[in-house]
């Protein structure tokens, strides 16, 4: 036991150090973790014997639950809404087209059997959210035309479709599905998975808005339970658990709940740990000596997938939307393969279906090539295609963007006899460059207005330009004003009547403005809003 714990600690520290080194090069952490697994594995330096595919499949499937859940939790629905239709088609029809094209190539060009060809296509048809998120965040790739949100939603939501296709092909290969049964399998995967994901997400939001946890940390335990249940419930009735947990994550991550500031760093840590575990275990499971035996078919599939299948699917779907050619080229290049494809390949290995080729090592090599070349060159591709936008902050596409708003909070209590006692807020003069954000009166928290009268014992929380604070009850969101927005041209005092929130700060052409009632709102302004607790 002590030896195993020692190895586990050394592996995690090695993963962290490799992640930091490769992050400077723009290479996703997946590559480092898999290579470390290979180094520790049967063919590596330490030669740790491990070939239990069934155990690895169970552990990796569990890790994918949290990765999928946080993929939804961390995606800002507000930023994704303009491209959700395109992303949904890419994550469904795009996956089917990619799988079909790769399957046809494997059968007619490489001589694979028909079903095994489409099995390879199904396994390798989804893109990797972890790699996409890592590169966009680490390189701060602010992209034009909502491209970042398009990639995030597509890569975060296309694994369920790939899983469904893989399940269908495997079922057909063992003679367990007629045409009608295959149709019902698709129906149950989508409908049960989608409906139970919505139900779990909405119930979790309702519960967290109305229930106060007795001790710090239990909100994280509750969120873990939501992630697990949103997978297990649909899986128990034949639904798609990955689709369900992704939807539940979206609903919870984009809801106005008071525990989000705690949940974001918690799930950051859990997801990183799951990714380390998953990627390292997959590397440990592999035999590098076998990669040479599959290098030719793997290289051929990688080239066809990267330069023909993926672009054909992307252009076929995005062209009717009149998307720009350079955006479609970038989305095509950003279709990196990753952990989910390898996990599905492990699932193939433990399934009773008989396959002639070493699909696990073929897929592993394709993923390594994809991460190494596509991942490393993604920032250069964005620059070459003129998609970088200096004024676009990619962090806005994630729900934890609010943690980076440059505002600090000041708290003080009104003593008896203070000159502000029994006066309305509009009658008092606040320190320059500050605004009153929250009023705590006993156990009650109020978002104040100009007519709010102050009392002795009230605790006032003011905001001012500085580093972001972390006070309970203060939750920020962001709204960008467009030319046609009904708030544009109005003063802050007039706009307050239209909003169920307080405007805390205005970002205007690179400058930060702490507003007053007479401040006029202009098109292009980014409003930082504080919402009342619900």
90: domain CATH number is 1.20.1530.20
CATH number at residue 439: 3.30.70.1450
Kindly tell me if the per-residue pLDDT of 403 is higher than 50.
no
Cα angle 367-371-372, degrees, rounded to a multiple of 5? 115
Longest dimension (CA), the chain: 89
Kindly tell me if the per-residue pLDDT of 469 is higher than 50.
no
User: What pLDDT, in 10s, does the model give residues 75-90?
Assistant: 777 777 788 889 889 9
> Is 509:447 a contact under the CB 8 Å cutoff?
no
Inside any domain, residue 398: no
Q: Among candidates 185, 182, 164, 184, which has minimal Cα distance to 243?
A: 164
Look at 95-104, 208-217, 331-340 and tell me which has the smallest mean pLDDT.
208-217
Please give the structure tokens belonging to residue 281. 């275990």
Same domain flag for 70 and 206:
yes
pLDDT confidence of residue 229: 94
> Is 275:30 a contact under the CB 8 Å cutoff?
yes
> Is 65:88 a contact under the CB 8 Å cutoff?
no
User: What pLDDT, in 10s, does the model give residues 37-68?
Assistant: 888 776 766 677 777 788 888 888 888 888 88
Global confidence as pTM = 0.72
Total of domains in the chain: 2
pLDDT confidence of residue 401: 45
Residues spanned by the domain of 443: 403-531
Q: Which of 362, 389, 416 is the last residue of a domain?
A: 389
Same domain flag for 437 and 322:
no
- List Cβ neighbours of 184 (8 Å cut-off, separation of 6 or more): none
End-to-end CA distance of the chain: 47
pLDDT confidence of residue 399: 53
Same domain flag for 363 and 466:
no
> Could you count the other beta carbons within 10 Å of the beta carbon of residue 177?
18
Inside any domain, residue 497: yes
- List Cβ neighbours of 321 (8 Å cut-off, separation of 6 or more): 85, 86
Q: Among candidates 34, 36, 41, 43, which has minimal Cα distance to 11?
A: 36
User: What pLDDT, in 10s, does the model give residues 207-226?
Assistant: 888 887 766 678 888 889 99
Q: Which range is most confident: 193-197, 263-267, 351-355?
A: 193-197
> Helices (H) and strands (E) in the chain — how many of each?
21, 8
> Is 123:181 a contact under the CB 8 Å cutoff?
no
Mean pLDDT, rounded, of the chain = 81
Q: Which of 359, 389, 419 is the last residue of a domain?
A: 389
Q: Which range is most confident: 335-344, 504-513, 523-532?
A: 335-344
């Amino acid at each position: 036991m002590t030896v195993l714990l020692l190895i586990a600690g050394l592996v995690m520290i090695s993963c962290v150090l490799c992640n930091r080194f490769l992050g400077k090069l723009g290479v996703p952490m997946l590559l480092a973790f898999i290579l470390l697994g290979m180094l520790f594995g049967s063919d590596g330096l330490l030669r740790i014997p491990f070939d239990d595919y069934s155990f690895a499949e169970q552990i990796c499937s569990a890790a994918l639950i949290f990765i999928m859940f946080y993929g939804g939790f961390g995606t800002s629905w507000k930023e994704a809404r303009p491209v959700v239709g395109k992303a949904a088609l890419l994550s469904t029809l795009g996956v089917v087209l990619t799988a079909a094209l790769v399957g046809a190539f494997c059968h007619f060009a490489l001589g694979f059997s028909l079903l095994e060809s489409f099995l390879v296509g199904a396994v390798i048809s989804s893109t990797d959210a972890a790699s996409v998120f890592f590169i966009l965040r680490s390189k701060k790739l602010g992209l034009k035309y909502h491209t970042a949100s398009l990639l995030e939603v597509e890569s975060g939501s296309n694994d369920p479709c790939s899983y469904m296709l893989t399940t269908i092909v495997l079922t057909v290969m063992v003679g367990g599905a007629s045409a009608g049964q295959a149709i019902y399998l698709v129906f149950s995967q989508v409908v049960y998975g989608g409906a139970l994901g919505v139900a779990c997400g909405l119930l979790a939001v309702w519960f967290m808005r109305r229930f106060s946890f007795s001790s710090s940390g239990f909100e994280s335990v509750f969120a873990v339970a939501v992630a697990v249940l949103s997978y297990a419930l649909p899986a128990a009735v034949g639904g798609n658990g990955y689709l369900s947990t992704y939807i539940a994550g979206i609903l919870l991550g984009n809801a106005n709940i008071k525990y989000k500031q705690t949940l974001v760093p918690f799930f950051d840590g859990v997801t990183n740990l799951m990714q380390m575990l998953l990627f390292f275990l997959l590397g440990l499971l592999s035999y590098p000596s076998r990669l040479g035996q599959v290098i030719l078919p793997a290289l051929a599939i990688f080239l066809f997938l990267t330069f023909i299948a993926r672009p054909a699917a992307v252009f076929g779907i995005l062209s009717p939307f009149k998307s720009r050619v350079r955006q479609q080229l970038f989305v095509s290049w950003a279709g990196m393969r990753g952990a989910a494809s390898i996990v599905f390949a492990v699932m193939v290995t433990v399934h009773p279906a008989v396959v002639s080729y070493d699909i696990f090592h073929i897929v592993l090599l394709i993923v390594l090539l994809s991460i190494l070349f596509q991942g490393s060159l993604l920032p250069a591709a964005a620059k070459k295609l003129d998609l970088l936008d200096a004024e676009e902050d990619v962090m806005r596409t994630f729900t934890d963007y609010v943690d980076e708003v440059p505002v600090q909070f000041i708290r003080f209590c009104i003593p008896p006899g203070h000159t502000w006692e029994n006066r309305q807020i509009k009658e008092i003069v606040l320190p320059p460059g500050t605004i009153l954000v929250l009023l705590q009166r006993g156990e009650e928290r109020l978002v104040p207005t100009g007519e709010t009268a102050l009392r002795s014992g009230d605790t006032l929380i003011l905001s001012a330009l500085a580093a972001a604070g972390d006070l309970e009850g203060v939750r920020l969101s962001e709204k960008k004003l467009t030319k046609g927005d009904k708030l544009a041209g109005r003063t802050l005092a007039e706009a307050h009547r239209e909003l169920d929130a307080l405007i805390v700060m205005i970002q205007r052409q690179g400058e930060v403005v702490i507003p007053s009632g007479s401040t006029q709102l202009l098109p292009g302004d980014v409003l930082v809003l504080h919402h009342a607790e619900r």
